[in-house]
Amino acid sequence: MRENGLLTPLAIMTLVAMGMMGRAVYAQRPERPQEVRVPGIDIMLRAGWQLLFHDGCRVAVPPSWRADPDAGFVSGPVGDSLSVQRFTITSWFAHKALVKAAFGRVNVVHEDSDRRLWLEIGDKHRTQHYIDVPHGLSTCTGLLEIRAATMPSAEDTTTIADSIGPAPAKWP
């Protein structure tokens, strides 16, 4: 590698290349945002997730889920599912009372507010999340069914529930 006590051009290029490789190992790649705010809708959409619209309602689901565009039905790859529909109501408070009476005993009340009704029911084989979001004299209602064997993370379930709501009348 040395000729007359000096480094050869090949040795110099090798050292420079090794120095550059070491620098590349320690360099940080630019970070991509893991969520993006969707214009015209007050939700954050996770990277790779799909934003779907049906019957005046919207929902976000993981990238592996597939939608039946005519039925407001989305299914996961291992049997989980979500249906979304819009219903006409006369009063949000009366509607909530009817829903709670119809379900009777629930496992968890995640939210019961002016903004949303989110109930969790189910047994050891499956869990159902009933999510109702008012919009004037209608609701966007989602029924998320999760098989016990495929339980997604609580974060995924919350992301789906938080995304259910009215679709914008006009897209920006």
**Model pLDDT for residues 57-68, shown as the tens digit of each residue:** 999 999 999 998
DSSP 119-157: EEEE-SSEEEEEEEEEETTEEEEEEEEEEGGG---HHHH
Q: What is the CA radius of gyration of the chain?
A: 26
Residue 71 pLDDT > 70? yes
The pTM (predicted TM-score) of the whole model is: 0.75
Sketch out the chain's domains with CATH numbers.
47-166 (3.40.1000.10)
3-25 per-residue burial string, b: 16 or more CB within 10 A, e: under 16 = eeeeeeeeeeeeeeeeeeeeeee
Share of the chain above pLDDT 90, in %: 45
Average pLDDT over residues 40-52: 81
pLDDT at 31: 55
Mean pLDDT estimate for the chain:
80
Residue 113 pLDDT > 70? yes
pLDDT at 34: 77
Tens of pLDDT, residue by residue over 78-90, are 888 999 999 999 9
Residue with tokens 């509607």: 95
